[in-house]
């Protein structure tokens, strides 16, 4: 396992894909944080801002997990699909034919690199939003434990998104198809489902179990929840549901894709 993990980490660090996504994510998160902070501190004439205090800070600082998770998810998926696109999976399995070990190393290495996405994405959100919240809102709240804990958990959640991405890539081995599915689901399908389910009393509870909602439950903060559009599971329940997505997807990939003959 150690040799396989070393090999996987070397693949990550000798390619440009992950850090290009990392740079784009940093710029995107900083931009979104600025826009969101301005929006939350913009009070209508004679009224108050829609969200304030600690809630506003959490909404801005956890934007990486709320909206930027597509980057580590893509990185994790592409780490797997690249093996099939460039046929590097053949020498990888010739070096160690234990496919469970190969997949396990993929999952662990993705989680490790995912921590970099978590740190950079969350730091960019804080750097972009804190000055505006401090100047225009009720404060930055960066010394409050109720704010620092979700910030730290946002880093963890983004690492898990990379872990989930490997599971996605193990099922959808065509790289273009995997990218399209990830983008479609994260940017359109899940947001629509969450809003739609939340509007129907009989389906409101289902929205809590979607992957994005589960990750937000782990963090303990949500853009949707702060605006009254969604409820979340308890933190530990959300963490278990979120991790289950990655584990189940990877297990299915192991017994379908990785069970076939590979040449």
pLDDT value for 7: 83
pLDDT digits (tens, 9 = 90+) for 64-103: 998 899 999 999 999 999 988 888 888 888 877 888 899 9
User: What distance in Å separates the CA atoms of residue 245 and residue 210, rounded to the nearest whole number?
Assistant: 9
**0.85 exceeded by the pTM?**
yes
Q: What is the pLDDT of residues 186-195, one digit of tens each?
A: 989 998 888 8
Q: How far apart are CA 155 and CA 124, in angstroms?
A: 12
pLDDT for position 226: 59
Overall size of the chain counted in residues? 263
Model confidence at 182: pLDDT above 80: yes
Residue 68: name the closest of 15, 16, 129, 13 by CA. Answer: 129
User: What is the band of 45 on the pLDDT scale with cuts at 50, 70, 90?
Assistant: low
> What are 207-235's pLDDT values in tens digits?
889 999 999 999 987 766 655 556 788 99
On the question of pLDDT at 50 being above 70, the answer is no
Domain residue spans of the chain: 2-259
What is the per-residue pLDDT for 62? 93
Q: Is the pLDDT of residue 152 over 90?
A: yes
């Amino acid at each position: 396992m150690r040799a396989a993990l070393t090999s996987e980490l070397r693949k990550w660090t000798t390619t440009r894909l992950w850090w290009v996504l990392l740079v784009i994510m940093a710029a995107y998160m900083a931009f979104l944080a600025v826009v969101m902070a301005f929006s939350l501190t913009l009070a209508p004439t004679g009224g108050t801002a829609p969200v304030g205090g600690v809630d506003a800070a959490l909404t801005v600082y956890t934007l990486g997990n709320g909206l930027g998770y597509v980057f580590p998810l893509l990185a994790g998926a592409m780490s797997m699909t690249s093996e099939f696109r460039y046929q590097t999976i053949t020498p990888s399995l010739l070096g160690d034919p234990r496919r469970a070990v190969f997949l396990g190393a993929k999952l662990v290495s993705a989680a490790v690199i995912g921590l970099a996405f978590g740190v950079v994405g969350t730091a960019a959100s804080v750097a972009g939003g804190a000055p505006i919240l401090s100047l225009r809102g009720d404060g930055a709240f960066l010394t409050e434990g109720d704010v620092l804990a979700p910030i730290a958990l946002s880093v963890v959640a983004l690492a898990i998104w990379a872990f989930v991405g490997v599971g996605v890539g193990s099922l959808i081995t065509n790289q273009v198809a995997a990218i399209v599915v990830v983008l479609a689901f994260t940017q359109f399908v899940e947001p629509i489902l969450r809003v739609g389910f939340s509007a129907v009393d009989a389906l409101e509870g289902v929205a809590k179990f979607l992957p994005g909602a589960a990750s937000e439950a782990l963090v303990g903060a949500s853009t949707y929840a702060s605006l009254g559009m969604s409820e979340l599971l308890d933190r530990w329940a959300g963490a278990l549901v979120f991790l289950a997505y990655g584990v189940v997807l990877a297990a299915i990939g192991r017994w379908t894709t990785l069970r076939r003959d590979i040449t």
